[in-house]
Structure 1
């Protein structure tokens, strides 16, 4: 069992993921789908921390901790996989502060696993590159490699073939996330996709490409969760740069030029929609 490395961070943020566009191109025989997407990441999210331990343990707290397992959890799966791939015996006491809604289309579980990989990579003194961690993460889920990098990137294949986008045009934007506190199943949303390929995602500056793009899961999600239509309309009322559902839902997002605009939109959504979850942030 490796000794904890002194002087390395003892906590990591599991950055909230947004799919600015999500084009579903093909249903694959293995149950996955071939997609084209633009991943972007806020500077906010869950938090994973670590301290020395003789065995591998996980404790979960926070506003969305209820119902989550301390053992059957992507954070634990990520820690065990990293130890196995690094040929070490794992020891660490992990804590997850769960601030993002569960099953909400913003990468919560995937981001948590990715944060655990980054955190333990330093804590155990493994010195894997981000690219290597992303490779290790592939069995954990379609979004986990992108969440390991937590940089604006284009995802193809099942979302794991990544192209980092440098110098993107999101840095001056503020995002508002709104979730109607309805958990949705990713598998159910993909199963509800009608199978029609509506075309490729374009190329060029991120915001124009995203505006010209779409989320092919948005309409199935609105059909299954009608309140999403109200969320999207409330955001549209605030005249954002763009607004859309992220991933398989049910979180929707809007981009604004200033934090003040995002705060006004958040207030409008709370007054219009009733009980909701919101988060504001800038892009990494």
Structure 2
């Protein structure tokens, strides 16, 4: 599998997300199939005496540039762990919406680790390194991109899902931000059945049928906070060419699956024209 282009932070998509338990301390156990879409943020870096970050792009508003940004946290963690004494001037172009269930901050952190390891000529973190887990629950799986992953535990246990069909994805967000903590706070049940096994038939139709039979256990609480999510899912499921649709992560972005990226572009174009207030993007699945 080819590596990701340098500095590319692809959107993380949970095609299914089951909440299977809760640990002491309040952390939820998950069982999720995670894939990555061929759209994302972009990070660049040049050598500099100190670490600094600028942010631009259509979703740059409100993104911090100080030490609270996931890119800066990842950069400092890598520098400290590897004894790096130089810095970098970082520029992040935000293409993905915030608080959207697409793991953009986590993917940005993973991109920073990959990019700066090359710039500083040090060994990057592995997904299961404790420094990575400390950066956030989705950072390990984002560091394992671009291959599809089974993600369990609180996000720290990963296993390759194997090759998936080359389906297309239609990502839709009704321009509503849904804070993850608020969604989990409204979750009524924390002990649910895990995912079923993927079918032996990996053709797009069979794969989409499997996705449709799974759940996102965070969808009901997310819809209670943002009823627009229900409308997005209904619209996707009625759209010709969409084989299955689920909410991803903690929302509010939903994803439709099509037989290929060409069908995704066609379906997305219809939605872009009819729902002009929504963020609608077609993308290939990275596989």
- The Cα shift of 1:46 comes to 0.2
Aligned residue pairs, count: 273
Q: Distance in 1 between matches of 2:107 and 2:126?
A: 14
- Once the two structures are superposed, the pairs formed by residues 15-94 of structure 1 within 5 Å of their partners are 15-71=10-66, 72-94=68-90
Structure 1: gaps (5+ residues) = 1-8
- The Cα shift of 1:110 comes to 0.5
Deviations 1:4-49 (A, max 9, x none): xxxxx99411010000100011232322201100110012100000
Deviations 1:116-141 (A, max 9, x none): 00111111111336446x55311011
- Once the two structures are superposed, the pairs formed by residues 184-195 of structure 1 within 5 Å of their partners are 184-195=178-189
- Does residue 176 (structure 1) correspond to residue 176 (structure 2)? The answer is no
Contact 1:110 1:143 in 2 (8 A): yes
Contact 2:42 2:92 in 1 (8 A): yes
Which residue in the other structure is 1:4 paired with? none
Q: Distance in 1 between matches of 2:143 and 2:84?
A: 21
TM-score normalised by length of structure 2: 0.90
Q: Distance in 1 between matches of 2:76 and 2:281?
A: 31
Deviations 1:227-249 (A, max 9, x none): 11111111111242210100000
Q: Distance in 1 between matches of 2:63 and 2:243?
A: 35
- Once the two structures are superposed, the pairs formed by residues 99-138 of structure 1 within 5 Å of their partners are 99-128=95-124, 130-131=126-127, 135-138=130-133
TM-score normalised by length of structure 1: 0.90
Q: Distance in 2 between matches of 1:136 and 1:92?
A: 20
- The Cα shift of 1:209 comes to 4.3
Q: Distance in 1 between matches of 2:229 and 2:270?
A: 15
Contact 1:180 1:277 in 2 (8 A): yes
| Aligned partner of 1:250 among 249, 252, 256 | 252
